[in-house]
Structure 1
Amino acid sequence: MTSSHPFGRALCAMVTPFTSTGELDHAGARRLARSLVAGGCDGLVLNGTTGESPTTSDAEKSALVETVCAEVGDRAHILAGIGTADTRHTRALARDAERAGAHGLLVVAPYYSRPPQADVEAHFLRIADAARVPLMLYDIPARTGTRIEPATLVRLAAHPRVAAVKDCAYDLLGSAKVIARTSLAYYSGCEELNLPLYAVGGAGFVSTVANVAPGPVRAVLDAYDRNDRNGRDARAASVRAHQRVLPLAEAMMAAGLPGAVTAKALLARLGQPGGPVREPLRPAGRGTADGLLRLYDALTAPRVNPQG
């Protein structure tokens, strides 16, 4: 069946802005959230991987959600990352995020301990039973060491608060099978798969690149939908838009540095809030930042119509 869009289509995995001294930057978070929504994001995911969740405290996580919800919560879906390796801690973070105003919860598979699938399923059910808002499950085995297997996702889809998946499993066949068998909304968490996943029934994306280029990233889906509605070939315009994004996406996400590092480096060059990363991450070098800015300029430069 076709996925709905419970959290919108174009979601940004927002960085967590810090001040120059490393404290949570509330003013910067408000400014960045406004800019992202104005740029085309209809959802913001806070306290995820790009949000440096491993190095922010529980209190900072709640404060960021509260700040962003107060600023743009009436115009965008706000999801809070709450996933940890500890079921009890994750449930506590779910309650904190709900009190702070989150519209949904991003819950990563429990990491490091590598639980079997029955335990992974039980973990998510415990969170879903305790939650009052819908969940987006986060499948990223390269980081967690644990896959949420397609069969497990099919079973979890029966829970009324399990609404979506952020898909970083790099298994398009498995994802397509779950989409076909459930009503789960699939969101690509890998820039290069935004269009392919959307084409097989995905709901949209959760994008790190959207921190700096929300319009071009969203344009891929807009082109696909526009062509589809008009009854024309849905490939040409959307494929061109997808291909335009890929060089910057590759530099930000597949060149050896974490997305939080590259996103903050480019945000700084663009005069946008972001601030430093927290250790153990270290800032990108000048050459990296220069290269990112060149790719950004190429992506956002006005296009010349060869037909005049």
Structure 2
Amino acid sequence: MADSDIRDRPFGTLVTAMVTPFTSDGEVDFETTAALADKLVRDGCDGLVVSGTTGETSTLEDSEKEDLFRVVAETVGGRAKVIAGTGTNHTSHSVEMARRAAKAGADAQLVVTPYYNKPTQGGVVGHFEAVAAATDLPIMIYDIPGRAGIPIATETMFRLAEIPQVLALKDAKADFAAVTRVLANTTLDVYAGDDGLTLPWMAAGAVGLVSVSAHVATARFRALIDAAAAGDFAEARRLHFELDPIVRAVMTHIPGAVSAKQILKMQGVLPSAAVRLPLVEPDAVEMESVLADLAEAGWDFSQNEA
């Protein structure tokens, strides 16, 4: 872990992986995107991922992604880091998206492991080297084997950490032993990539969280990050347990992008919870499970179900 102050990071410390708001007819709602970005920053986020998994990147056109990068950068630039989701399983396409992100004003990029292809670890290194060489944007690696199909081996992470633009890791592997080795043997800023693992990851030295659930409980996640960073683990544990049913509501029943949009609509933040196929809005049974967890957290949306 780098030694600079925890709030002085190239990616921020509380980073929300933003949903992409759509109109009821499926078009990107740029006005609502700007309003959501502004709200998240005012409520405590110092970094925003744009067009990541939660942003439904796989169903966005490249031109839509570039416009999203630009809109969010124009809205929160100077107040929070704008982190463009540029990674794909096609290296030259990822290079092109990195260049578009830089042109649009992004501060950094989130680059996922090449998915589906299942490259060797040598191919993983070659992919990140090519993306890094395309621009000067700092890179946060996104290690998520459950989606990518392969993990990034710890020894490979050591090699990637030597690339000058690679400064951070979003760890969604849930392997505490592996992340401990990365923290101990590299200067990478490590971020929890699972909302429910923020506390243990920060206790080991991670600098923050890249979150979906922070859409709907931003201030409490900000408080958790700050308490853990200050070494106040009694307060951090209290917030961890308080946030648990909210994390379950967002992350365990339906895709996070879907649940986050539903809750944001119920909170009056989004006018529409529309998603693009193959994602669909929840059925009644699925929504009951989400609402039950929210009720456990003391949130009652029974009168305004989406």
TM-score (norm 2): 0.92
Match of 1:175 in 2: 179
In structure 2, the CA distance between the partners of 1:27 and 1:88, relative to structure 1 (3 Å rule), is same
**CA deviation profile, 1:181-213 (whole Å, cap 9, x unmatched):** 111011111011111111111010000001111
Query: For 2:50 and 2:179, how far apart are their aligned partners in 1?
Result: 24
Q: How does 1:145-184 map to 2 (within 5 A)?
A: 145-184=149-188
Amino acid at match of 1:158: E
In structure 2, the CA distance between the partners of 1:123 and 1:195, relative to structure 1 (3 Å rule), is same
Match of 1:209 in 2: 213
Q: How does 1:183-202 map to 2 (within 5 A)?
A: 183-202=187-206
CA deviation after TM superposition for structure 1 residue 146, in Å: 1.4
Amino acid at match of 1:245: L
Match of 2:112 in 1: 108
**Secondary structure, aligned partner of 1:281:** coil
Unaligned runs of 5+ in 1: 229-233, 302-308
Note the aligned Cα RMSD (angstroms).
1.6
Match of 1:266 among 238, 263, 267: 263
Kindly indicate whether the alpha-carbon contact (under 8 Å) linking 2:207 and 2:229 is maintained by their aligned counterparts in 1: no
Query: For 2:109 and 2:14, how far apart are their aligned partners in 1?
Result: 16
Match of 1:53 in 2: 57
Match of 1:144 in 2: 148
Provide the identity percentage.
43
Query: For 1:40 and 1:296, how far apart are their aligned partners in 2?
Result: 21
Match of 2:72 in 1: 68
Unaligned runs of 5+ in 2: 300-306
Match of 1:279 in 2: 277
Query: For 1:66 and 1:297, how far apart are their aligned partners in 2?
Result: 37
TM-score (norm 1): 0.91
Kindly indicate whether the alpha-carbon contact (under 8 Å) linking 1:3 and 1:179 is maintained by their aligned counterparts in 2: no
Query: For 1:42 and 1:295, how far apart are their aligned partners in 2?
Result: 27
Kindly indicate whether the alpha-carbon contact (under 8 Å) linking 1:20 and 1:276 is maintained by their aligned counterparts in 2: yes
Match of 1:238 in 2: 236
**Secondary structure, aligned partner of 2:248:** helix
Kindly indicate whether the alpha-carbon contact (under 8 Å) linking 1:10 and 1:205 is maintained by their aligned counterparts in 2: yes
In structure 2, the CA distance between the partners of 1:105 and 1:37, relative to structure 1 (3 Å rule), is same
Counting matched residue pairs gives 294
Match of 2:126 in 1: 122
Amino acid at match of 2:262: A
Match of 2:37 in 1: 33
CA deviation after TM superposition for structure 1 residue 248, in Å: 1.3
